[in-house]
Structures are given as structure tokens and as C-alpha cells.
Amino acid sequence: MARGDAWSAGALALLAIFAVTHALRLEVGSLARPGPGFFPLVLSAALAVVAAALLVRSRRAKDGPPIPREPTARGRLAATAGVLAAYVLLFERLGFVLATVGMLAFLFAALGRYRWPIALGAAAVVTVAAWVLFDTWLHVRLPAGVLGRW
């Protein structure tokens, strides 16, 4: 595992260097008046810190026995990709509420292994919270779909 962490740290470090060099091409500005390159620069620097921490962790860790993979990992990945594709395709037609509740309920029940009543309840709570956040507070119009404005 330590070897994989070292490779991941290297990849993240390269991505951070790439992002920092591109962020510096934009006007950075100051803390009081940030320019368009300020937040990309800060996020790139944070990514570099994460890469460094991962590298340190990988150097301190001892290689243990390999972690066995779940035989259903590929199936779960395919199911997740499929439900996200269906969500994108049905989002406008069904509307935000139905599409999001359906997607989240499937993810919670089928992949998170919660019982369906709990999955549906959690999906409904998360969807209503997102609706309130976007529609009421941020005034972002979400597709109503077959339910109309509720």
C-alpha cells in the first residue's frame, strides 16, 4: 500500500505543479482583492501540501499483505456510472426532486446497503435540503419536471 501511496503522491504533485504554473499565468491579485488566479493558486498549493503529506505517510508506512478486492467492486462501479447516466438523462424530464430522490435512494440502498425505507427517507431529506439551498437561498431555478412547482 505504501508503494501505491507514493505513486499517488507523485501524480498529485505533478498535477499541483501543473496547476500552480497555470494559475500564475492569471492575475493573482492580493488577499484583499483577489484576482482570477488567486483561488486556483491557493487550491493548487493545498493539493501540493496533500501530495507531500501522502508522500511522508507512504515513507513511514510498512508494506503489508495486499488488501483483497471485493469481487463486486466492478459491478458497483458500473451500477454507479449507470445510475449517474440515467440521472443526467432524466433530470429535465422528471425534474430535480424525482430524479434526485431516485438516484440517491438507489445509491443508498443498492450500493450503501441501507434498507429501502431508510434509503428513501434519507434521499428525500437530502433532496429537500438541496432544493431549499438552491431554490430558496441561492435563487437557482431547478427543473420542476412532472411535479410542476411544488
SS3 for 29?
A: strand
Q: Tens of pLDDT along 60-95? A: 766 666 656 655 667 787 888 899 899 999 988 898
Per-residue cell: 149? 412547482
Q: Tens of pLDDT along 3-58? A: 677 788 888 889 889 888 888 888 888 877 888 888 888 888 998 998 898 888 87
* pTM for this predicted structure: 0.52
Q: Which one is predicted more confidently, 62 or 98?
A: 98
Do residues 3 and 67 lie in contact, with contact meaning Cβ atoms separated by under 8 Å?
no
* Continuous H helices in the chain: 2-24, 38-60, 73-94, 96-106, 116-131
Taking the domains of the chain in order of start, what are their residue ranges? 2-60, 73-147
Apex CA 3: angle with CA 18 and CA 75, to 5°? 85
Measured CA to CA, the distance from residue 95 to residue 149 in angstroms comes to 10
SS3 for 34?
A: strand
Per-residue cell: 46? 493545498
